[in-house]
Chain A
């Protein structure tokens, strides 16, 4: 009876565990195995080369580190610009103010759209046709025609433009989390501070900031993890790696896999990248533990 009972309980988790084992655990193990082989994805024979793939990544692959730097650059812009904007908006909405719901609904529209749609629409707005280039028309309109520019087809500005569109797509999401965090701060704290004679800035600095640090850390970790892995936006906005100017790690992995048919090398790149991501989020997590 007891045995039958336990067996029955396993039926509940069986489908989830089966799908998870096949489509998560097996690929997870294979990534580590394949990382040590040279393989084109089709042949029956794989050549074991040990850690040579990793050696190549660290010693020779300059385009990989260029891609890592590009992703870091976008991430730094997202961490600062996007999150500061999100925090300011959340702070502005965290009060008795009209149309609060309207703002909340509107700010979260960009995050629900797909990166393909966002990329193509923005590409259409800021680059493709001179006639429809709103940003350029605006510069011409306010008397600054020398600022008119093909933002996405200039290697100098392409990456920054990508980063800005990425921020446009992502800030609403940080806004929501910040706002939820701000609303957990008891109003009485602000009341008490005001009675004691604190001004708005003081109570912001002494109450809001310290209580929000855990939320800020969560948003920072998620921003880093999300932004470092960005690539769909780049494909739809720029069209590809743009001779390395807008290449990012995931695009490099895809190129190793589909472009040069080096499946083992693609896996090794994936592992290297995954380790970096885990390390970053671990450091940020430790940092948050300390400051709490």
Chain B
């Protein structure tokens, strides 16, 4: 008979192997990021000589230089403006539509909802060519407004889907009570349904903020002027300008990556929820 001790050692060994496996992958995930941050604090010639992860001095001037001379402050502000306005737009527009699809009856509602869902399934890789032509015609190309509208459209389908799923499960009693109190439909949506939907709104906000902050292709074809560009596209021209100055480039990359990492660490519960829900249901 094998004793309890046998099973205990066996379990400890298995767990150790599993931990070694997991930790080595975790290190591979974190290493490039640490490397980026550390390199952004070195001087140009130290980058060639010193590959340790602990720099001898911290050159925060790199950040000031990237922000001012590299013109990164402007692009950072652009990214912030685009992200907040697109997310705000998506929250308002998609929650209104999702509420209507879930609660209100009108001819064609099934068809319209199906249309949004079909858009989620059908990839059209060449659509940016036509979008470019369209924006030119509307005189919206190379304008922040045109970009914001395009990005709102990108997030609509998934957000409507997530919100409608939530509204479908939400009990109707509170809305009925509000209706008896004489609240209008728009009032019920805004004062009753939206506050109740906070958990799923958080998912919608975080997922869309990630998408907009990291978006590249539309910003690339829409903007000609560096002054309108968000960070992701500006980084390319930044790389061209400062091709030999690695610490400065790494500072630029850190400025781009850090906000998203911070948001992720604080809101990771919602991101996980959004990713798994979107994939497993859809």
A interface vs B, CB < 8 Å?
Answer: 6, 8-13, 15-17, 19-20, 22-24, 26-28, 30-31, 34, 41, 85, 88-89, 92-93, 97-99, 102-110, 112-118, 120-122, 124-125, 128-129, 131-132, 134, 137, 168, 172-173, 176-177, 180-181, 215, 218-219, 222, 225, 229, 231-232, 235-236, 249-250, 253, 257-258, 263, 266-267, 269-271, 273-274, 277-278, 281
* A175 to B57 CA separation, bound complex (whole angstroms): 38
B178 interface hit (Cβ, 8 Å):
no
Instruction: Establish whether residues A105 and B265, one from each chain, have CB atoms under 8 Å apart when the complex forms.
Output: yes
Instruction: Establish whether residues B249 and A92, one from each chain, have CB atoms under 8 Å apart when the complex forms.
Output: no
Q: List 25 A-B residue pairs with CB atoms under 8 Å apart, sorted by A's residue number.
A: A8-B185, A11-B186, A12-B186, A13-B96, A15-B92, A16-B93, A16-B97, A17-B97, A23-B131, A30-B133, A31-B126, A34-B129, A106-B30, A107-B29, A108-B264, A108-B272, A109-B33, A109-B261, A121-B36, A125-B35, A137-B51, A215-B280, A253-B125, A257-B132, A267-B126
Per CB-CB distance, the 5 closest pairs between chain A and chain B, nearest first, are A270-B126, A12-B100, A114-B214, A27-B130, A16-B97
Instruction: Establish whether residues B253 and A30, one from each chain, have CB atoms under 8 Å apart when the complex forms.
Output: no
* A236 to B152 CA separation, bound complex (whole angstroms): 26
Closest to A33 in B: B130
A-contacting residues, B81-131, CB 8 Å: 92-94, 96-97, 99-101, 104-107, 109, 112, 115-116, 119, 121-127, 129-131
Closest to B254 in A: A117
A117-B256 contact given A16-B156, A176-B275, A177-B280, CB 8 Å threshold: yes
Instruction: Establish whether residues A6 and B107, one from each chain, have CB atoms under 8 Å apart when the complex forms.
Output: yes
Instruction: Establish whether residues B268 and A114, one from each chain, have CB atoms under 8 Å apart when the complex forms.
Output: no
Closest to A232 in B: B216
Segment touching A, from B20-28, B60-68, B70-78, B197-205: B20-28
Instruction: Establish whether residues B232 and A131, one from each chain, have CB atoms under 8 Å apart when the complex forms.
Output: no
Instruction: Establish whether residues B51 and A269, one from each chain, have CB atoms under 8 Å apart when the complex forms.
Output: no
Instruction: Establish whether residues A168 and B28, one from each chain, have CB atoms under 8 Å apart when the complex forms.
Output: yes
A117-B246 contact given A105-B268, A106-B30, CB 8 Å threshold: no
A-contacting residues, B124-147, CB 8 Å: 124-127, 129-134
* A108 to B207 CA separation, bound complex (whole angstroms): 13
Q: Number of contact residues on B: which range applies? A: 35 or more
Interface centre among A27, A108, A257 (most CB of B within 10 A): A27
B interface vs A, CB < 8 Å?
Answer: 15, 18-19, 21-22, 25-26, 28-30, 32-33, 35-36, 39, 47-49, 51, 92-94, 96-97, 99-101, 104-107, 109, 112, 115-116, 119, 121-127, 129-134, 149-150, 152-153, 156, 160, 185-186, 189, 210, 213-214, 216-217, 221, 232, 235-236, 239, 246, 249-250, 253, 256-257, 260-261, 264-265, 268, 271-272, 275-276, 279-280
Report chain B residues within 8 Å CB of A93: 22
Closest to B94 in A: A16
A134-B35 contact given A112-B271, A267-B130, CB 8 Å threshold: yes
Instruction: Establish whether residues A31 and B51, one from each chain, have CB atoms under 8 Å apart when the complex forms.
Output: no
Closest to A235 in B: B236
* A124 to B19 CA separation, bound complex (whole angstroms): 29
A20-B119 contact given A113-B257, A124-B39, A134-B51, CB 8 Å threshold: yes
Instruction: Establish whether residues A110 and B29, one from each chain, have CB atoms under 8 Å apart when the complex forms.
Output: yes
Q: Which of B28, B35, B149, B160 contacts A16 (CB 8 A)?
A: B160
Dominant SS at the A interface? helix
* A85 to B29 CA separation, bound complex (whole angstroms): 13
Q: Which of B94, B116, B235, B272 contacts A176 (CB 8 A)?
A: B272
Q: Which of A12, A31, A218 contacts B280 (CB 8 A)?
A: A218
Closest to A89 in B: B25
Report chain B residues within 8 Å CB of A129: 47-48, 246
A112-B264 contact given A215-B280, A269-B126, CB 8 Å threshold: yes
A20-B116 contact given A31-B127, A112-B271, A277-B125, CB 8 Å threshold: yes
Instruction: Establish whether residues A23 and B160, one from each chain, have CB atoms under 8 Å apart when the complex forms.
Output: no
Instruction: Establish whether residues A124 and B236, one from each chain, have CB atoms under 8 Å apart when the complex forms.
Output: no
Report chain B residues within 8 Å CB of A27: 124, 127, 130-131, 134
